[in-house]
């Protein structure tokens, strides 16, 4: 039995062969299916993106949305990147990791000065 407003709501289409769709009135063979929207009580994160989301949220300011690293540090890494002799495949991966580590440790945004609080995923 489908629950109205749930995942298997009859307004989204039908899967049963003899049953008619509540939206278009067609059977499962002719009903194309219909888009729906479900309100969730809490945000749900895709398991494949949790690490990336956590890195981004901990390294950016909650107020101004900028990277929590002073501009001087970013300029230093930029100069290092322009020096092609010292910029290798290994450093290409290590530089963003170092920038994110510096950003995570920051307790105050260097750009807007707002305090940054610890992010906890539950």
Domain that holds residue 85: 47-105
Same domain, 33 and 56: no
Examine the domain organization and report whether 52 and 13 are in the same domain: no
* Residue 95 DSSP label: H
User: Is 112 inside any structural domain?
Assistant: no
Q: CA-to-CA distance for 119 and 49, rounded, in angstroms?
A: 16
pLDDT of residue 10: 83
User: What per-residue confidence (pLDDT) applies to 71?
Assistant: 92
Contact call for residues 96 and 69 (beta carbons, < 8 A): no
CA-closest candidate to residue 53, choices 43, 38, 41 = 43
Length of the chain equals: 122
Residue 74: predicted pLDDT: 87
Number of domains in the chain: 2
Look-up: residue for tokens 């929207």? 37
- The pLDDT value given to residue 18: 86
Are 32 and 61 in the same domain?
no
Say what the pLDDT of residue 87 is.
66
Query: In this structure, are 52 and 35 located in the same domain?
Result: no
pLDDT at 96: 85
Tokens linked to 102: 């510096």
Are 69 and 22 members of one domain?
no
CA atoms within 13 A on the CB side of 103: 23
CA atoms within 13 Å, Cβ hemisphere of 93: 2
Same-domain check for residues 58 and 33: no
Tell me which residues of the chain have a pLDDT lower than 70: 1, 84-87, 89-90
* pLDDT score, position 77: 82
């Amino acid at each position: 039995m489908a629950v109205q407003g749930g995942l298997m709501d009859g307004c989204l289409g039908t899967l049963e062969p003899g049953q008619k769709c509540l939206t278009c009135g067609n059977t499962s063979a002719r009903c194309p299916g219909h888009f729906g929207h479900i309100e969730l009580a809490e945000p749900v994160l895709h398991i494949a993106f949790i690490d990336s989301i956590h890195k981004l949220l901990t390294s950016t300011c909650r107020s101004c949305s900028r990277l929590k690293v002073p501009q001087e540090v970013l300029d230093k890494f930029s100069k290092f990147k322009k020096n092609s002799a010292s910029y290798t495949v290994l450093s290409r991966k290590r530089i963003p990791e170092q920038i994110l580590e510096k950003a995570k440790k920051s307790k105050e945004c260097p750009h807007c000065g707002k305090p940054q609080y610890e992010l906890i995923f539950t």
